[in-house]
Amino acid sequence: IASWKTLSESSRQFLETVMDSIILSILCQQRERKSVVQDRLNLLKERVLRCFRTIKVPPQKLGNLKNLSNLQMVEKETLKANEESLVRLQEEINEAKQSAGRREENILQLQNKIQVLKNQLEEDEKKAKKVFQENVSGALHLPELPKRSLQAPTLQEEILKMKNQEGLLKDMNTIQQSADLKDLLTLI
């Protein structure tokens, strides 16, 4: 502590310049009562400058204080980069929200379609139960055949009307005995 000295004149001038720039930046942000704030800041500045004249500091070079403006510029650039990143992140969040909203809408539409199909299936099952409803004896209540189908000629009657009946019967017998027909019947 014995080797400590008061601040040099150049250091005091530098600190006074820094304080002036701080006061100006504060005043630029003030909208109301600017003169009152300016008076109080000037009084505070005078008191601090008086302390700087008498304060004792270690005998070092104050290179860090002189690099303060460079450090401030670096911090401003970092802040700007962070703000840009924040804007990009906000855009990504907005896109993700929109995508989630679209997915939600799709899910709701699919749920509605599923419900419609379930309702339709229930109606179809009820109709099928009515059509194939069994009574106590176990007989099915099928719809009646149209009268035209009962009046249509049978295959036997059609064969009797043909001239070459024996040839037709041989052809039908050959078809019935064929392996292809047997495979088809096995498949059914």
pLDDT at 109: 95
Please state the pTM of the whole predicted model. 0.34
Token pair, residue 143, equals: 């719809």
Residue 58 near residue 64, CB atoms below 8 Å: no
Q: Supply the DSSP string of 147-185, one letter for each residue.
A: HHHHHSPPHHHHHHHSS-HHHHHHHHHHHHHSHHHHHHH
Checking if the pLDDT of 66 tops 70, the result is no
Which pLDDT score is estimated for 136? 43
Tell me what pLDDT residue 70 has: 79
Which token pair is 11?
């250091």
pLDDT at 142: 64
Domain chopping of the chain, boundaries: 1-62, 67-132
Residue 7 near residue 52 (C-beta atoms within 8 A): yes
Amino acid at 144: E
Does 120 score more than 70 pLDDT?
yes
Question: How sure is the predictor about 60, in pLDDT bands with cuts at 50, 70 and 90?
Answer: low
pLDDT digits (tens, 9 = 90+) for 20-35: 888 888 888 877 888 8
**CA pair distance 81, 94, nearest whole angstrom:** 20
Tell which wins on pLDDT, 6 or 61.
6
Residue pLDDT, tens place only, 148-185: 666 666 777 777 777 887 887 888 888 888 888 788 77
Segment 44-50 shows an average pLDDT of 91
Assess whether pLDDT exceeds 90 at residue 96: yes
Q: What percent of the chain has pLDDT over 70?
A: 82
